[in-house]
Structure 1
Amino acid sequence: MKKLLPPYLFVLTVFAMGTICWYSNSPHLIAMPYSLLGLLFVAFGIALAGRSSALFRKVGTNIMTFDEPGKLVTTGAFKFTRNPMYLGFSIALFGFAVLFGAAISSFLLVVFYVVVSDRWYIAYEEREMIKKFGEEYSLYQNSVRRWI
Protein backbone atom coordinates (compact mmCIF):
# COMPACT_ATOMS: atom_id res chain seq x y z
CA MET A 1 0.00 0.00 0.00
CA LYS A 2 3.01 2.30 0.23
CA LYS A 3 2.66 2.96 -3.48
CA LEU A 4 -0.85 4.40 -3.05
CA LEU A 5 -0.23 8.09 -2.48
CA PRO A 6 -2.87 10.16 -0.63
CA PRO A 7 -4.13 12.07 -3.71
CA TYR A 8 -4.74 8.74 -5.47
CA LEU A 9 -6.64 7.42 -2.45
CA PHE A 10 -8.67 10.65 -2.55
CA VAL A 11 -9.58 10.18 -6.22
CA LEU A 12 -10.37 6.49 -5.70
CA THR A 13 -12.61 7.39 -2.76
CA VAL A 14 -14.52 9.96 -4.85
CA PHE A 15 -14.88 7.39 -7.63
CA ALA A 16 -16.11 4.77 -5.14
CA MET A 17 -18.64 7.26 -3.73
CA GLY A 18 -20.01 8.07 -7.15
CA THR A 19 -20.13 4.43 -8.22
CA ILE A 20 -21.87 3.23 -5.06
CA CYS A 21 -24.38 6.09 -5.17
CA TRP A 22 -25.07 5.52 -8.85
CA TYR A 23 -25.54 1.75 -8.67
CA SER A 24 -27.05 1.27 -5.22
CA ASN A 25 -30.45 2.06 -3.86
CA SER A 26 -29.10 3.70 -0.73
CA PRO A 27 -31.35 6.53 0.42
CA HIS A 28 -30.27 10.05 -0.41
CA LEU A 29 -30.83 12.39 2.51
CA ILE A 30 -30.25 15.67 0.68
CA ALA A 31 -32.12 16.34 -2.56
CA MET A 32 -31.18 18.65 -5.40
CA PRO A 33 -30.65 21.61 -5.43
CA TYR A 34 -29.56 21.51 -1.77
CA SER A 35 -26.94 18.87 -2.45
CA LEU A 36 -25.13 21.45 -4.57
CA LEU A 37 -23.99 23.03 -1.29
CA GLY A 38 -21.44 20.23 -1.30
CA LEU A 39 -19.59 22.13 -4.02
CA LEU A 40 -18.61 24.76 -1.43
CA PHE A 41 -16.90 22.11 0.69
CA VAL A 42 -15.28 20.56 -2.38
CA ALA A 43 -13.93 23.93 -3.51
CA PHE A 44 -12.69 24.89 -0.04
CA GLY A 45 -11.07 21.51 0.56
CA ILE A 46 -9.32 21.41 -2.81
CA ALA A 47 -8.15 25.02 -2.33
CA LEU A 48 -6.74 24.21 1.13
CA ALA A 49 -4.89 21.15 -0.14
CA GLY A 50 -3.71 22.98 -3.27
CA ARG A 51 -2.41 26.06 -1.44
CA SER A 52 -0.61 23.86 1.07
CA SER A 53 0.96 21.85 -1.72
CA ALA A 54 2.01 25.09 -3.45
CA LEU A 55 3.64 26.25 -0.21
CA PHE A 56 5.75 23.07 -0.19
CA ARG A 57 6.89 23.84 -3.75
CA LYS A 58 7.57 27.48 -2.85
CA VAL A 59 9.88 26.60 0.05
CA GLY A 60 11.47 23.82 -1.98
CA THR A 61 10.59 20.83 0.16
CA ASN A 62 9.51 17.32 -0.69
CA ILE A 63 5.78 16.63 -0.92
CA MET A 64 5.96 12.88 -1.54
CA THR A 65 4.58 10.94 1.42
CA PHE A 66 7.12 8.12 1.43
CA ASP A 67 10.26 10.10 0.59
CA GLU A 68 12.50 11.70 3.20
CA PRO A 69 11.13 15.01 4.50
CA GLY A 70 13.08 18.03 3.31
CA LYS A 71 12.08 21.03 5.43
CA LEU A 72 9.74 21.62 8.33
CA VAL A 73 6.97 23.93 7.09
CA THR A 74 5.15 25.85 9.83
CA THR A 75 3.73 28.80 7.89
CA GLY A 76 0.46 29.28 6.00
CA ALA A 77 -2.19 26.73 6.94
CA PHE A 78 0.51 24.76 8.77
CA LYS A 79 0.21 27.34 11.58
CA PHE A 80 -3.27 25.95 12.34
CA THR A 81 -3.07 22.28 11.38
CA ARG A 82 -0.10 19.96 10.91
CA ASN A 83 -1.86 18.28 7.98
CA PRO A 84 -3.72 20.82 5.85
CA MET A 85 -3.50 18.67 2.72
CA TYR A 86 -5.19 15.71 4.42
CA LEU A 87 -7.67 18.06 6.05
CA GLY A 88 -8.41 19.64 2.67
CA PHE A 89 -8.95 16.26 1.01
CA SER A 90 -11.23 15.21 3.89
CA ILE A 91 -13.30 18.40 3.65
CA ALA A 92 -13.57 17.92 -0.11
CA LEU A 93 -14.71 14.32 0.39
CA PHE A 94 -17.38 15.53 2.81
CA GLY A 95 -18.47 17.93 0.07
CA PHE A 96 -18.66 15.11 -2.46
CA ALA A 97 -20.75 13.08 0.02
CA VAL A 98 -23.21 15.99 0.25
CA LEU A 99 -23.09 16.52 -3.51
CA PHE A 100 -23.93 12.84 -4.09
CA GLY A 101 -27.05 13.25 -1.98
CA ALA A 102 -25.62 12.39 1.43
CA ALA A 103 -26.02 8.64 1.08
CA ILE A 104 -24.80 6.90 4.23
CA SER A 105 -22.28 4.93 2.16
CA SER A 106 -20.62 8.19 1.08
CA PHE A 107 -20.10 9.34 4.65
CA LEU A 108 -18.70 5.92 5.56
CA LEU A 109 -16.13 6.39 2.80
CA VAL A 110 -15.21 9.81 4.22
CA VAL A 111 -14.62 8.14 7.60
CA PHE A 112 -12.56 5.45 5.85
CA TYR A 113 -10.37 8.10 4.21
CA VAL A 114 -9.87 10.01 7.47
CA VAL A 115 -8.95 6.84 9.40
CA VAL A 116 -6.49 5.65 6.74
CA SER A 117 -4.96 9.13 6.54
CA ASP A 118 -4.67 9.48 10.30
CA ARG A 119 -3.51 6.00 11.24
CA TRP A 120 -1.37 5.16 8.26
CA TYR A 121 -0.17 8.15 6.22
CA ILE A 122 0.08 10.76 8.98
CA ALA A 123 1.43 8.33 11.57
CA TYR A 124 4.18 7.32 9.12
CA GLU A 125 4.99 10.90 8.19
CA GLU A 126 5.17 12.01 11.82
CA ARG A 127 7.60 9.22 12.70
CA GLU A 128 9.81 10.35 9.81
CA MET A 129 9.54 14.01 10.85
CA ILE A 130 10.66 13.18 14.39
CA LYS A 131 13.62 11.21 13.02
CA LYS A 132 14.63 14.11 10.78
CA PHE A 133 13.80 17.20 12.89
CA GLY A 134 13.77 15.85 16.45
CA GLU A 135 12.97 18.40 19.14
CA GLU A 136 11.99 21.07 16.60
CA TYR A 137 9.19 18.85 15.30
CA SER A 138 8.17 17.78 18.82
CA LEU A 139 7.72 21.44 19.77
CA TYR A 140 5.65 21.97 16.62
CA GLN A 141 3.52 18.92 17.50
CA ASN A 142 2.88 20.33 20.95
CA SER A 143 1.79 23.73 19.62
CA VAL A 144 -0.26 22.77 16.52
CA ARG A 145 -3.00 20.13 16.37
CA ARG A 146 -2.83 17.18 14.00
CA TRP A 147 -6.14 18.01 12.30
CA ILE A 148 -8.00 21.08 13.62
Structure 2
Amino acid sequence: MQKLLPPFLYLITLISMALLCWSLDVNHLIVYPYNLVGLPFLIAGLLLAAGAKKLFVHLGTNVMTFSEPGKLITHGAFKFSRNPMYLGFAVSLLGAALLFGAGIVSLVCWLGFIVITDRWYIRFEERAMRQKFGSEYAQYCCQVRRWI
Protein backbone atom coordinates (compact mmCIF):
# COMPACT_ATOMS: atom_id res chain seq x y z
CA MET A 1 0.00 0.00 0.00
CA GLN A 2 2.90 2.33 0.71
CA LYS A 3 3.75 2.39 -3.00
CA LEU A 4 0.24 3.53 -3.96
CA LEU A 5 0.41 7.32 -3.90
CA PRO A 6 -2.78 9.26 -3.06
CA PRO A 7 -3.38 10.64 -6.59
CA PHE A 8 -3.36 7.07 -7.89
CA LEU A 9 -5.83 5.99 -5.21
CA TYR A 10 -8.00 8.93 -6.29
CA LEU A 11 -7.85 7.83 -9.94
CA ILE A 12 -8.48 4.18 -9.08
CA THR A 13 -11.48 5.19 -6.98
CA LEU A 14 -12.86 7.48 -9.68
CA ILE A 15 -12.43 4.89 -12.44
CA SER A 16 -13.86 2.11 -10.25
CA MET A 17 -16.82 4.29 -9.37
CA ALA A 18 -17.51 5.04 -13.04
CA LEU A 19 -17.05 1.48 -14.26
CA LEU A 20 -19.16 -0.04 -11.50
CA CYS A 21 -21.95 2.49 -11.96
CA TRP A 22 -22.04 1.98 -15.71
CA SER A 23 -21.56 -1.79 -15.79
CA LEU A 24 -23.87 -2.79 -12.95
CA ASP A 25 -27.58 -2.29 -12.92
CA VAL A 26 -27.46 0.15 -10.02
CA ASN A 27 -30.26 2.17 -8.56
CA HIS A 28 -29.51 5.82 -9.31
CA LEU A 29 -30.79 8.02 -6.52
CA ILE A 30 -30.23 11.25 -8.45
CA VAL A 31 -31.20 11.43 -12.12
CA TYR A 32 -30.45 13.94 -14.85
CA PRO A 33 -30.52 16.96 -14.67
CA TYR A 34 -30.38 16.93 -10.85
CA ASN A 35 -27.17 14.91 -10.85
CA LEU A 36 -25.40 17.92 -12.38
CA VAL A 37 -25.27 19.35 -8.87
CA GLY A 38 -22.14 17.20 -8.57
CA LEU A 39 -20.23 19.17 -11.20
CA PRO A 40 -19.37 22.16 -8.95
CA PHE A 41 -18.17 19.74 -6.25
CA LEU A 42 -16.02 17.88 -8.75
CA ILE A 43 -14.43 21.10 -10.02
CA ALA A 44 -14.07 22.76 -6.59
CA GLY A 45 -12.42 19.65 -5.16
CA LEU A 46 -9.90 19.46 -7.96
CA LEU A 47 -9.14 23.18 -7.63
CA LEU A 48 -8.62 22.81 -3.87
CA ALA A 49 -6.24 19.86 -4.32
CA ALA A 50 -4.35 21.57 -7.14
CA GLY A 51 -4.07 24.82 -5.19
CA ALA A 52 -2.64 23.04 -2.16
CA LYS A 53 -0.12 21.21 -4.33
CA LYS A 54 0.81 24.47 -6.04
CA LEU A 55 1.51 26.01 -2.62
CA PHE A 56 3.84 23.10 -1.79
CA VAL A 57 5.71 23.58 -5.05
CA HIS A 58 5.85 27.38 -4.61
CA LEU A 59 7.36 26.99 -1.13
CA GLY A 60 9.80 24.34 -2.35
CA THR A 61 8.66 21.63 0.03
CA ASN A 62 8.06 17.95 -0.48
CA VAL A 63 4.62 16.87 -1.68
CA MET A 64 5.36 13.11 -1.67
CA THR A 65 3.42 11.22 0.98
CA PHE A 66 6.08 8.72 2.00
CA SER A 67 9.06 11.09 2.02
CA GLU A 68 10.30 13.18 4.93
CA PRO A 69 8.28 16.37 5.34
CA GLY A 70 10.11 19.53 4.35
CA LYS A 71 8.16 22.41 5.86
CA LEU A 72 5.14 22.92 8.07
CA ILE A 73 2.68 24.92 6.00
CA THR A 74 -0.03 26.67 8.01
CA HIS A 75 -1.39 29.30 5.65
CA GLY A 76 -3.57 29.27 2.54
CA ALA A 77 -5.93 26.29 2.53
CA PHE A 78 -3.83 24.77 5.34
CA LYS A 79 -5.26 27.43 7.64
CA PHE A 80 -8.65 25.65 7.47
CA SER A 81 -7.68 22.00 6.90
CA ARG A 82 -4.50 20.09 7.71
CA ASN A 83 -5.11 18.03 4.57
CA PRO A 84 -6.56 20.22 1.82
CA MET A 85 -5.26 17.98 -0.96
CA TYR A 86 -7.07 14.96 0.47
CA LEU A 87 -10.12 17.09 1.22
CA GLY A 88 -10.08 18.26 -2.39
CA PHE A 89 -9.89 14.69 -3.66
CA ALA A 90 -12.78 13.69 -1.37
CA VAL A 91 -14.96 16.64 -2.45
CA SER A 92 -14.17 15.87 -6.08
CA LEU A 93 -15.12 12.22 -5.65
CA LEU A 94 -18.36 13.24 -3.94
CA GLY A 95 -19.09 15.37 -6.99
CA ALA A 96 -18.39 12.39 -9.23
CA ALA A 97 -20.67 10.20 -7.10
CA LEU A 98 -23.46 12.76 -7.51
CA LEU A 99 -22.83 12.96 -11.26
CA PHE A 100 -23.01 9.18 -11.50
CA GLY A 101 -26.40 9.31 -9.78
CA ALA A 102 -25.17 8.69 -6.23
CA GLY A 103 -25.91 5.00 -6.41
CA ILE A 104 -24.87 2.94 -3.43
CA VAL A 105 -21.87 1.68 -5.40
CA SER A 106 -20.43 5.17 -5.94
CA LEU A 107 -21.07 6.16 -2.33
CA VAL A 108 -19.28 3.03 -1.08
CA CYS A 109 -16.30 3.85 -3.33
CA TRP A 110 -16.27 7.42 -1.99
CA LEU A 111 -16.40 6.27 1.63
CA GLY A 112 -13.68 3.71 0.91
CA PHE A 113 -11.41 6.47 -0.39
CA ILE A 114 -12.02 8.55 2.74
CA VAL A 115 -11.35 5.66 5.13
CA ILE A 116 -8.15 4.57 3.36
CA THR A 117 -6.92 8.15 3.11
CA ASP A 118 -7.69 8.91 6.75
CA ARG A 119 -6.40 5.68 8.27
CA TRP A 120 -3.39 5.09 6.05
CA TYR A 121 -2.03 8.22 4.37
CA ILE A 122 -3.00 10.90 6.87
CA ARG A 123 -1.97 8.90 9.94
CA PHE A 124 1.39 8.12 8.31
CA GLU A 125 1.97 11.78 7.49
CA GLU A 126 0.90 12.93 10.96
CA ARG A 127 3.46 10.65 12.61
CA ALA A 128 6.19 12.03 10.34
CA MET A 129 5.09 15.62 11.02
CA ARG A 130 5.07 15.06 14.81
CA GLN A 131 8.57 13.59 14.66
CA LYS A 132 9.94 16.43 12.54
CA PHE A 133 8.12 19.48 13.93
CA GLY A 134 7.21 18.40 17.49
CA SER A 135 5.32 20.97 19.55
CA GLU A 136 4.90 23.35 16.62
CA TYR A 137 2.93 20.66 14.78
CA ALA A 138 1.02 19.72 17.95
CA GLN A 139 -0.08 23.35 18.34
CA TYR A 140 -1.13 23.46 14.68
CA CYS A 141 -3.19 20.28 15.22
CA CYS A 142 -4.97 21.96 18.14
CA GLN A 143 -5.89 24.93 15.95
CA VAL A 144 -6.77 23.24 12.64
CA ARG A 145 -8.87 20.12 12.08
CA ARG A 146 -7.67 17.10 10.17
CA TRP A 147 -10.30 17.41 7.42
CA ILE A 148 -12.52 20.49 7.92
TM-score (norm 2): 0.99
Partner of residue 27, structure 2 = 27
Q: Residue by residue, what CA displacement relative to the aligned partner does 1:60-106 show, whole Å, maximum 9, x if unpaired? A: 10000000000000010100010000000000000000000111110
1:69-88 equivalence runs, <5 A: 69-88=69-88
Q: Residue by residue, what CA displacement relative to the aligned partner does 1:13-67 show, whole Å, maximum 9, x if unpaired? A: 0000001001101100111111111111000000000000000001110000000
What amino acid is aligned across from residue 53 of structure 2 in structure 1?
Answer: S
Deviation, 1:11, is 0.4
2:126 is the counterpart of 1:126? yes
Partner of residue 45, structure 2 = 45
TM-score (norm 1): 0.99
In 1: Cα distance, 2:18 partner to 2:79 partner: 34
Partner of residue 98, structure 1 = 98
In 2: Cα distance, 1:60 partner to 1:81 partner: 20
In 2: Cα distance, 1:22 partner to 1:145 partner: 36
In 1: Cα distance, 2:91 partner to 2:39 partner: 11
Partner of residue 145, structure 1 = 145
In 2: Cα distance, 1:125 partner to 1:31 partner: 39
Count of equivalent residues? 148
In 2: Cα distance, 1:62 partner to 1:70 partner: 5
In 2: Cα distance, 1:68 partner to 1:145 partner: 22
Which runs of no fewer than 5 residues in structure 1 stay unpaired?
A: none
Partner of residue 5, structure 1 = 5
Which runs of no fewer than 5 residues in structure 2 stay unpaired?
A: none
Moved over 4 A (4+): none
